Amino acid sequence: MLAARRAGTSRSLGGVWLLGLALVLWNSLPAAAQERAVPQSAAEITLSFAPVVKTVAPAVVNVYASRTVVQQPVSPFFDDPFFRRFFGGPGPDFGRPRERVQSSLGSGVIISADGTIVTNNHVIKDADQVRVALADRREFDADIVLKDERTDLAVLKIREPGSYPSVEFADSDGLEVGDIVLAIGNPFGVGQTVTQGIVSALARTRVGVTDYQFFIQTDAAINPGNSGGALVDMKGHLVGINTAIFSRSGGSNGIGFAIPSNMVRFVATAATDGKVQRPWLGASVQTVGAEIAEALGLDRPRGVLLTQIHPESPARDAGLKIGDLVTAIDGAEVLDPDSFGYRFGTKAIGGRATFTFLRGGKELTAEVVLMAAPESVPRDVRVIRTYSPFEGATVMNLSPAVAEELGLGLLEEGVVIAEIAPGSPAAQVGLQAGDVVVSVNEEAVDSTRRLERLARDRPRLWRLEIRRGGETSRIVLRG
């Protein structure tokens, strides 16, 4: 302390001049840069993250999810009275399917005082019962409000009314590489744990755990059980939900990924009847590689190229055309299809988005109405139960809304298989969810009603025409 005081009281004229220059340079920096400062003294280096943790930790919960599964008997002989006589189990339930409870563990974050919680969908997937434990050891049952597989997010609600600690959202677009962040969760079920790191990268793609590839990468230690936990900034605000790690051993290697808070906030507020209402552009996009960028006269590959436009879409109404190069949405730069999907997919229904695009070498803008994909044709969901190659398949009529939900092509029409019952004839012949049924025995399938009628036939041969991933296949089966 004495040395510190001496250094502060023996400034020379040159030291004053240097200080003045530093102040001028500091004042000339942008506000965001001024808020981020390298520690200048030993006292600053020894500062603690405890105040941030005390603010946020009460809003981070442990999530316990359980489901009941039916366990089949080890051998079908157990149903035989002769074998039951020698292997015991004289009771009437011996050898019958038994119920077993499977459980999973993760983390969650309370985002509002009414007990609304955000976690990962894979934490509570297929759960029959969900229970959450707060940092103060209180435990509550929770209802599943929303499950969104496309973002791997889920929303829970504590059943017992009350006022609960919550965390505020930060604008994840304001993050910069190098920012300090804290990860809070329950790794390996050892209890609430805090780890510290930096933002290693932004807008990470090719992670492969959600449809929206736009992750925050951090070196804060994230391990199994951290899923659904909080990634917070130094103000104690939520910047992301910890979701995945890159690891060959199953433990932390310093490469963790979090869903940006702007996507989390969108999903938590855009739910209607248990589903997320996303804006529909009605256009397909393509990556701009080096060759295309050179042909278009760009200084570097950027933006996305419009390759298809639905005739009754917001894109068409806004005046966009095939071949337009979209470079920004509401001023946020678009680099590739992943960033395009994130920028557009986090817009709220009911407003407008300004698209900046290039056409013929000129930069133009267009106002796109933010609306949900229309269900222009009633989906008329039916389960095929008659003996046929489609037995056990749940089918529905295609519309832009259904195609958007199932991730199908923009211009797909007809009937799509939405679900296949495990072990059913439909599963055994190789049919999959997402397959579009084009024709059956040379008769076009344009509705679920017609497919259900065709499935009642008993031909000697079944001739199926199925479109999968844009490619059409013909299948011939014995009747």
Nearest Cα neighbor of 272 from 129, 148, 163, 448 is 148
Total-model pTM? 0.76
Q: Tell me if residue 449 falls in helix, strand or coil.
A: helix
Residue 226 assigned as binding residue: yes
Same fold across 60-158 and 172-272:
yes
Q: Which residue has the tokens 């029959």?
A: 128
Angle at alpha carbon of residue 101, lines to 95 and 105, rounded to 5°: 155
Q: Is residue 250's pLDDT more than 70?
A: no
Q: Which of 24-28, 343-347, 352-356, 463-467 has the lowest mean pLDDT?
A: 24-28
User: Tell me: the pLDDT tens digits for 162-190?
Assistant: 999 999 999 999 999 999 999 999 887 77
Q: Where are the domains of the chain?
A: 60-158, 172-272, 283-369, 382-478
Among 41-50, 252-261, 262-271, 275-284, where is mean pLDDT lowest? 41-50
Q: Cβ distance 428 to 413 under 8 Å?
A: no
Q: Which CATH superfamily is domain 382-478 in?
A: PDZ domain (2.30.42.10)
Is 152 labelled as part of a ligand binding site? yes
On whether 310 is known to bind a ligand per the annotation, the reply is no
Banded model confidence at residue 127, pLDDT cuts 50, 70, 90? confident
Strands 271-272 and 415-420: unpaired
Rounded mean pLDDT of the chain?
A: 83
CA separation for the pair 152, 243 (Å, rounded):
8
pLDDT > 90 in the chain, percent: 58
* Structure-token pair, residue 274: 């248990």
Q: Which residues contact 28 (CB under 8 A, 6 or more apart)?
A: none
**Predicted local distance difference test score (pLDDT) of residue 83:** 46
Note the pLDDT of residue 153.
93
Q: Which two tokens stand for residue 82?
A: 């002769």
Find out whether 299 is annotated in a ligand binding site.
Answer: no
User: What are the phi and psi torsion angles at 16 (to 5°)?
Assistant: -65, -40
Is the pLDDT assigned to residue 445 strictly greater than 90? yes
pLDDT digits (tens, 9 = 90+) for 187-213: 877 788 899 999 998 876 655 556 666
At a CB cut-off of 8 Å and minimum separation 6, what does 407 contact? 150, 211, 434
* Local confidence band at 478 (pLDDT 50, 70, 90 cut-offs): confident
pLDDT tens for 58-105 read 999 999 998 765 555 544 544 555 444 444 555 555 555 566 555 678
The CATH number of the domain covering residues in 283-369: 2.30.42.10
The answer to whether residue 251 scores a pLDDT higher than 60 is no
Rounded to an integer, the average pLDDT of 309-334 is: 95
Specify the range with the lowest mean pLDDT, choosing from 29-38, 242-251, 368-377. Answer: 29-38
Please state the CATH superfamily assignment of the domain spanning residues 60-158 in this structure: Trypsin-like serine proteases (2.40.10.10)
- Catalytic positions: 122, 152, 227
Mean pLDDT of 372-388: 94
Predicted local confidence at residue 73, as pLDDT: 52
Question: In angstroms, rounded to a whole number, what is the distance separating the alpha carbons of residues 55 and 310?
Answer: 48
Predicted confidence at residue 277, as pLDDT, reads 87
Q: 172-272 is classed in which CATH architecture?
A: Beta Barrel (2.40)
